Amino acid sequence: MMLHAKETLRKMYSLAMSYCGGGGLAAPDALSACDFGHALKSSHRASGRAVPCKARSFARCSLGDGSAEQEIVIALGSNVGDRVGTFERALRMMKNSGIRITRHACLYETAPAYVTDQPRFLNSAVRGTTKMEPHELLRRLKEIEKDIGRHTDGIRYGPRPIDLDILLYGDSRISTENLVVPHERIHERPFVLAPLVDLLGSSTNDDVEKSWHSLAKCTGGFFELWNKLGGESMIGTEGIKRVLPVGNRLLDWSERTLVMGVLNLTPDSFSDGGKFQEVEAAISQAKLLISEGADIIDIGAQSTRPFARRLSPDEELERLIPLLDVITQIPEMEGKLLSVDTFYAEIAAEAVKRGVHIVNDVSGGQIDPRILEVVAELGVPFVTMHMRGDPSTMQSEQNLVYGHVCNEVASELYTRVREAELSGIPLWRIVLDPGIGFSKNAKHNLEVIMGLESIRTEIGEMSLGASHVPILLGPSRKRFLGEICNRTNPIERDVATVAAATAGILNGANIVRVHNVGYGVDAAKVCDALRKGRR
């Protein structure tokens, strides 16, 4: 009878409901609001707001006609070949199969489990929706694995080019011969729990997330499972690291603060406009920035100072291309990264084609929305910055009105993250910039610098993964520093810049963008030493 029931359950939605009602699987205990709240508070980014919920014990759509969309979580793993490229290929194939990907976890490089004599893994997860029933979804994921090159006769837990697993399917608990959801060993796998938790928010206002937590079989849901394994304290160890794929490397930005040097090719930038318009002068400045310790050179051919005249894409390219054709060839660039400061899609495409590694958009895709899909296709990191309006309107009276500046910056930045993700830029390629000097007065800038952790926490209410991505801070020589220190000449604001950068790093910035790289590097080294001493 059980065999007949299993076979029928794979085909018919109506019997799924009757099976559930007949007590085929026991429903998990409801979460205690008190216990769940306690677990949230002990989590790295926890709000403690929770509502108890009881999940259904069987997939109500697991065997149906596919008409109802279900929220799902799919884990990705790889330790053979081009791991990042394989993930991106798998995501494209998943989308083409009818899976709408809505969120991405961070990217983790992890030590192999169970069979330890093999290369390190990359792990992540995605959240999305599908009309496929569970076993149809499983079949399609296995087809993708096969198409990418995974063989079914490999060693269990051994090397593999791709591994795709269904972690969650709606509010369902599934146990059949071929599929168990949630995975029965999820509680012992940090390489699964870390990306899974990334896809949740610390504020449990989402009904789907409440039901998912109840599937974890413990009062604190998946947060409690994650904390029992060590939680955030494990990140950055040899066992598991968050990484940013850029160029041909995986960057662990938690190891030290990175310094981005500014190279403006503009005649009207507020600090050094006109100095580096000629290729020879720009190359000389790039070599100086590198010699002083820059990790990244950020090249801008369009001024974004307040009220600056906007160049056309053709005008911007005319300034940019001659330098790009030379700078990528100089030996000093070996091991360094290039970033292009632009908000135009076609500039981003041309720059990456010519060797740039990162796209830095002060508008976060608002000025030219096409840039999001272009960057997604290019497969490079995307710096999305907070700004209201554009450079010509950002300092208007209307755009300087805030109730709580850090909360509003966080909310508006997260909107940019969501747009980027839905356009195909995975979270593991996103860098956040709170936009010092953009749509903010001096008081706002100071509050943001001192409130970076609160910005992370606020973003974490909506997406824990988004709260973990790198933060870039750019206070260098900005007007508010001149106002505070009575320095009208921007070049005289380097000491004030060091103070602002130091405060930012100690409050959670991972990258600082500066004109005087030598000072920036020294500040970063001291801050990193202070943070290590505090651990």
Q: Is 210 a catalytic residue?
A: no
Place of tokens 């000449």: 489
Q: Is 6 a catalytic residue?
A: no
**297, 327 in Cβ contact below 8 A?**
yes
Which amino acid appears at position 187 of this protein?
A: H
Q: How many CA atoms lie within 13 A of 404 on its CB side?
A: 8
- Name the 3-class secondary structure at 105: coil
DSSP string, 412-477: HHHHHHHHHHHTT--GGGEEEE--TTSS--HHHHHHHHHTHHHHHHHHHHH-TTGGGS-BEE--TT
> How far is 137 from 131, CA to CA, in rounded Å?
9
Marked catalytic residue, from 241, 478, 479, 493: 478
> How far is 273 from 177, CA to CA, in rounded Å?
67
Which amino acid appears at position 347 of this protein?
A: I
The percent helix, strand, coil of the chain (3-state, each to 5) is 40, 15, 40
Phi, psi of 481 (to 5 degrees): -70, -40
User: Counting beta carbons within 10 angstroms of the beta carbon of residue 177, is it exposed (0 to 12), middle (13 to 18) or buried (19 or more)?
Assistant: exposed
> Which string of b and e fits 181-220 if b means at least 16 CB within 10 Å?
bbbeebbebbbbbbbbbbbbbbbbeeeebbbbbbbbebbb
User: Counting beta carbons within 10 angstroms of the beta carbon of residue 431, is it exposed (0 to 12), middle (13 to 18) or buried (19 or more)?
Assistant: buried
Residues annotated as part of the active site: 478, 513
